Structure 1
Amino acid sequence: MNSFAFIIHPIDPKRDVQRRFPLLGRLLPEPAIHFFSAYFPPVYLSRVRGIRSRATGEEVEGWLVACPLTPQRMLSLPLERVYRKIIETGRLAERLGARILGLGAFTAVVGDAGITVAKHLRIPVTTGNSYTVAVALQALWEAAGRVGIPLAEATAAVVGAAGAIGRVAARLLAREVSRVILAGRRPERLESIRPLVEAEGAEADIAESLEALREADLILAVSSSPVAIIGPEHLKPGAVVCDVAQPRNVSPAVAAQREDVLVIDGGLVEVPGEADFGFDFGLPPRMAYACMAETIALAMEGRYEPYSLGRRLSIERVEEIARLAEKHGFRLAGFLSFGQPLTDEQIQRVRERVRGRSQWALA
């Protein structure tokens, strides 16, 4: 049987530790969880059953395994120590019988984005970032259509544009919109991306600060920041934000204070078959993150190869994995916002703000 494993790790320390160790999660304060996460061993979470390819009718089996490090610890520990912990988790996946390994959340972006980890394992590794790009943009296009934003006239922004996902996503955005704002911590990296974006057909500008987001109609948030960085003050009325980042880039204050913007959780897909993940990782039944779905789709296809590694993803691979995933029955999930289903009323409120703009009054 085709098989896979996928690594997750605690994003919200107390909440996520309680999912597997209820008593420990309740008793330990958050600073203690951060500290001790460096000393916990890799954790077996569950066996995944019931995922079945629409194309072949065959079921794949899989396992969820956990690297214990929190995002804060991944950023504060020496990189070699972080690599060692992720590799140890990958070796647990190998012992379980997985034939391909997917890296989730910060395990996919730390250091060289999977390259070093892959060199130390016997099975191929993927970050899942190619399919994450495809699904995030699909969600952004659909949301834009729902609220009435005409893509050809829109300004888009990418927060985290210098990262693996942001770099290729900005190029694909430039094929659909008139202007792309590139935001990130390192202006020199953004400058190197600007000509690539402009070559795809859109004007490209470098954001001096997140205040520049107030000019954007569409925002793709893919920064690897360990804390939320986009607040209510950064968004224009009628804007659509697709937040792909784990942890989230968009502050919960946006949901509380800005009914005139639409924030959607990006990178979520519905999995084919009667998926039973055997573990609650925070999503509704049969839903998975796109990075996980890429790993599963590759197993279904028998493509046991290091598909998405490093920080130079190709447009060709983004398009290919989107076709493979569709072939096997993966599809864009319904819209969630901060983990809750979006209502028609929420979408309509934002649509009314978009219609109120003079230049789009007839859209």
Structure 2
Amino acid sequence: MNTFAFMIHPIEIGDIARKFGPLGKLPPRLVESLFKYAPPLKVSQITGVRSKHAQTEGWFVACPITSRLMIDLPEEYVIKKIIKTGKLAQKLGAKILGLGAFTSVVGDAGITIDKNLDIAVTTGNSYTVATAVEGAREAAALMGHNLKRCHAVVVGATGSIGRVCASLLARDVHALTLVAREKTRLEELAHRITYESGVAPRITSDIRHALHNAQIVITVTSAVDTIIGAEDLMPGAVVCDVSRPRNVSREVAEKRNDVLVIEGGVVEVPGQVNFNFNFGFPPGMSYACMAETMMLSMEGRYESFSLGRDMSLQQVEEISALARKHGFKLAGFRSFERAVTREQIARIRENARHALNTPRAK
């Protein structure tokens, strides 16, 4: 039997209280501090993943550390906790382990974890890139944008996901801006993209300046707090937020009816999948990183696929081909845990048109 496991962790303190109700009565920071000493958990069994070619089943396993603690605690401590959770996946019978959320970015992005386990490991980043760019392209078209005339911005461009997203977008858009903190790495990436595509990206560490005239934004940083607010975006902007925790503030949804924010990497899983755990998605849908783990298992490819920070376009194209083979596909659009219909997108598009044609008050 093809088997897999996928590692999750509490994104924020409230996630612990929702899973373990009585803990919600304690002070949140106390709960967070206590929970980090808990052992790894088997959360649920996943069944019903099936295509016309193969099937698989697996488990959610949880590493009991919040996103904030994964940043604040010593890296060695965090990696040991992740490895211990991976050992639980091995014990359950998984043959490949997917790393979710911050477990995929701490340290060397899965390489050390892979070396300390007897099963294959993937971050799922290759299919996350594929679906993020596909989603951004489709959403931009629905918003009436011609990609060849668009200015696109990639926030977190020097990360493993951001680099490949930038390379893919460079093939389609008129102008590209890369945003990250380290100037040297930005310059190296910009030079490579220019060589590959002929597009000469701008580079900056100033997010707000980069965003003020961007029609398309893909944001994929490891920031714990939101970094994009309601005043940062132009009317009609399409923002694909791949990060967890989110990079885009919820106030964008509350205050800007002329901007489309979508979640990156929401995928329809083939078969009659039952996750036996509510992680905020409708039935039958998963994150792209989960989907990559499943499709590698269905192929019997128990190899470490997306690891480290040097992901290639070839990997993205290869995993996209596996997705087509087994019937994994982009599952429409979601924004802040809710589905976004084409009718809603049409209203956002009209609001943006009106905002762009209305002179701003001085």
TM-score of the pair, normalised by structure 1: 0.94
Q: Contact conserved, 1:259 with 1:346, CA < 8 A, in 2?
A: no
Once the two structures are TM-superposed, the CA of residue 223 in structure 1 deviates from its matched residue by 0.7
Name segments (4+ residues, structure 1) moved above 4 Å.
353-358
Mapped partners of 1:186, 1:30: distance in 2? 34
**Deviation string for 1:236-272 (max 9, x for gaps)?**
0100000110000000000011101000011110000
Q: Contact conserved, 1:262 with 1:346, CA < 8 A, in 2?
A: no
The amino acid of 1:166's aligned partner reads G
Partner residue of 2:214? 216
Partner residue of 2:8? 8
Pick one of 23, 46, 49 that aligns with 1:48.
46
For the residue of structure 2 that corresponds to 1:121, the secondary structure is: coil
> Is 2:135 the counterpart of 1:139?
yes
Partner residue of 2:19? 20
For the residue of structure 1 that corresponds to 2:201, the secondary structure is: strand
Partner residue of 2:126? 130
1:273-284 mapped onto 2 (5 Å cutoff): 273-284=271-282
Moved more, 344-353 or 264-273: 344-353
Over the matched positions of the two proteins, sequence identity in percent amounts to 54
Once the two structures are TM-superposed, the CA of residue 132 in structure 1 deviates from its matched residue by 0.1
For the residue of structure 1 that corresponds to 2:186, the secondary structure is: helix
Partner residue of 1:59? 55
Mapped partners of 2:32, 2:18: distance in 1? 16
Mapped partners of 1:262, 1:201: distance in 2? 29
For the residue of structure 2 that corresponds to 1:23, the secondary structure is: helix
Once the two structures are TM-superposed, the CA of residue 354 in structure 1 deviates from its matched residue by 5.7
Mapped partners of 1:229, 1:217: distance in 2? 18
**Deviation string for 1:153-201 (max 9, x for gaps)?**
1110011111110011101110111111111222222112111222223
Mapped partners of 1:141, 1:308: distance in 2? 23
Q: Contact conserved, 1:223 with 1:245, CA < 8 A, in 2?
A: yes
Partner residue of 1:236? 234
Pick one of 165, 169, 180 that aligns with 1:169.
165
Partner residue of 2:198? 201
Once the two structures are TM-superposed, the CA of residue 355 in structure 1 deviates from its matched residue by 5.1
Mapped partners of 1:42, 1:156: distance in 2? 40
Mapped partners of 1:33, 1:11: distance in 2? 14
Partner residue of 1:361? none
The amino acid of 1:343's aligned partner reads T
Once the two structures are TM-superposed, the CA of residue 34 in structure 1 deviates from its matched residue by 2.7
Partner residue of 1:85? 81
For the residue of structure 1 that corresponds to 2:94, the secondary structure is: coil
Q: Contact conserved, 1:178 with 1:203, CA < 8 A, in 2?
A: no
Pick one of 107, 114, 133 that aligns with 1:111.
107
Partner residue of 2:360? none
Moved more, 342-351 or 157-166: 342-351
Structure 2: unaligned runs, 5 residues or longer: 358-362
Mapped partners of 1:18, 1:323: distance in 2? 39
For the residue of structure 2 that corresponds to 1:233, the secondary structure is: coil
The amino acid of 2:5's aligned partner reads A
**Deviation string for 1:88-110 (max 9, x for gaps)?**
00000000000000000000011
> Is 2:341 the counterpart of 1:339?
no
The amino acid of 1:266's aligned partner reads G
> Is 2:74 the counterpart of 1:74?
no
Please provide the CA RMSD for this pair: 1.4
- Rate the CA distance shift 1:210–1:257 in 2: closer, same or farther, 3 A: same
Mapped partners of 1:235, 1:207: distance in 2? 16
Mapped partners of 1:155, 1:207: distance in 2? 14
Mapped partners of 1:74, 1:67: distance in 2? 10
Structure 1: unaligned runs, 5 residues or longer: 359-363
Moved more, 247-256 or 204-213: 204-213
For the residue of structure 2 that corresponds to 1:232, the secondary structure is: coil
Q: Contact conserved, 2:181 with 2:205, CA < 8 A, in 1?
A: no
TM-score of the pair, normalised by structure 2: 0.95
Q: Contact conserved, 1:181 with 1:206, CA < 8 A, in 2?
A: yes
Q: Contact conserved, 1:34 with 1:72, CA < 8 A, in 2?
A: no
Mapped partners of 1:281, 1:293: distance in 2? 14
